[in-house]
């Protein structure tokens, strides 16, 4: 069966410090991968998605970047964090085919202080 993991689960970082959140998927090949941020009030915002190695699409301009160095690995990064980067970050995967499901990871809480 397929599984998705992301880490770290919680992170407290000072303003201006770098960020790296990692996500891996097991049990499938060539998945579509997604990074979301969920703000207070439950809104879900798509940040990046990838349909293959090295292919990254950004949905919103921001202080973050994403990379996909391997088929089942997706990384969210920042060179210098801002206070506004605080939030709950979710990695997700799907096959990209109609009628198939998007599965989410456990989420990573980022607090920028």
Partner 1 sequence: DAKTTQPPSMDCAEGRAANLPCNHSTISGNEYVYWYRQIHSQGPQYIIHGLKNNETNEMASLIITEDRKSSTLILPHATLRDTAVYYCIVLPAGGTSYGKLTFGQGTILTVHP
Q: What number of helices (H) and strands (E) belong to the chain? A: 0, 11
Q: Which SS3 state, helix, strand or coil, does residue 15 take?
A: coil
Nearer to partner 1, 2 or 63 (CB): 2
CA-closest candidate to residue 44, choices 8, 90, 80, 10? 90
Determine the interface stretch with partner 1 among 13-21, 28-36, 63-71, 77-85 (rule: CB under 8 A).
28-36
Tell me the backbone φ, ψ of residue 46, rounded to 5 degrees.
-75, 125
* Cα(17)–Cα(30) distance, integer angstroms: 32
Q: Which SS3 state, helix, strand or coil, does residue 84 take?
A: helix
Nearer to partner 1, 15 or 51 (CB): 51
Task: Pick from 12, 60, 82, 102 the residue near partner 1 by CB under 8 A.
Answer: 102
Q: Binding of partner 1 at residue 60 (CB under 8 A)?
A: no
Task: Pick from 21, 48, 49, 78 the residue near partner 1 by CB under 8 A.
Answer: 49
Nearer to partner 1, 15 or 60 (CB): 60
Q: What are the residues binding partner 1 (CB under 8 A)?
A: 32, 34, 36, 38, 41-44, 46, 49, 51, 57, 59, 88, 90, 92, 94, 96-107, 109
């Amino acid at each position: 069966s397929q599984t998705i993991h992301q880490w770290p689960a919680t992170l407290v970082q000072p303003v201006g410090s770098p960020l790296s959140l990692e996500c891996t998927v097991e049990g499938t090949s060539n998945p579509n991968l997604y990074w979301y941020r969920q703000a207070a009030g439950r809104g879900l915002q798509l940040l990046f998605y990838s349909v293959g190695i090295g292919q990254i699409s950004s949905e919103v301009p921001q202080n973050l970047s994403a990379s996909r160095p391997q088929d089942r690995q997706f990384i969210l990064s920042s060179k210098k964090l801002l206070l506004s980067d605080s939030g709950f970050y979710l990695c997700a995967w799907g096959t990209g085919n109609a009628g198939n499901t998007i599965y989410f990871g456990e989420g990573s809480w980022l607090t920028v202080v």
